[in-house]
Structure 1
Amino acid sequence: MPPKRTSTSEVPAMTQATIKKLVADSVSTALEAQAANMENTDNITRPREAPVARKCVVGLIRWSEQSESMFSRSNCTEDCKVKFAAGTLTEEALSWWNSFAQPIG
């Protein structure tokens, strides 16, 4: 049986505050981009674009509330919250997380 790998580099811990700031910054950036996009389009396309941004924000809020509810019910420790939340990400959110998490370890 081969020996288990151990890491000699210390991975920086992500606090709940750090995660909330990352999410808030990402949402703010997405909303600013959406607003700029809507400013650059004609009135014919605006009704179709606004619900997309709203749907994303509503989805993010629901995901956050569901995660917090699960943390509360399971008495999840701070260390496990990031792992659990990252495990529930899908599609674009998972791609974003993988690109973010890779550089920091």
Structure 2
Amino acid sequence: MAPKRTSTSAAPAMTQAAIKKLVADSVSAALEAQAATMVNTDNTNMNTGEREAPVARKYSYKEFMSCQPFNFKGTEGVVGLIRWFKRTKSVFSRSNCTEDCKVKFAAGTLTEEALSWWNSFAQPIGIEEAYKIT
């Protein structure tokens, strides 16, 4: 087995102040180097230009239905109606439904007596006007 090496010279001990200065100098140098690199390159992550507003896309009935809204028959009474309102409002919120689609999509969940009521409401004024109600 090889003999273990031992050092005959003692390494000078560093003080806390010396260590802090060494760290601060290293961090400063790294930040300066990074800043120089950012200036000298075309970095698209710098966000220096104006940001474009995202283009709103048209919300689809398929997306609305994928959130599984409740159907409303019109025979569930007041409690059923309140539950339908809350569930439909929740689906609108989760799916970011636009205002101009809410009535149209909610009307698509009506069945039986509720659908008959909707049709009798919409028929005299026209379906497009009925969709504009709030």
TM-score interval for Structure 1 and Structure 2 normalised by the shorter chain? 0.3 to 0.5
**TM-score normalized by structure 2?**
0.37
User: Which structure has more helix as a fraction of its residues?
Assistant: 1
Q: Name which structure has the greater RCO, CA cutoff 8 Å, separation 6+.
A: 1
**TM-score normalized by structure 1?**
0.47
Structure possessing the higher radius of gyration over alpha carbons: 2
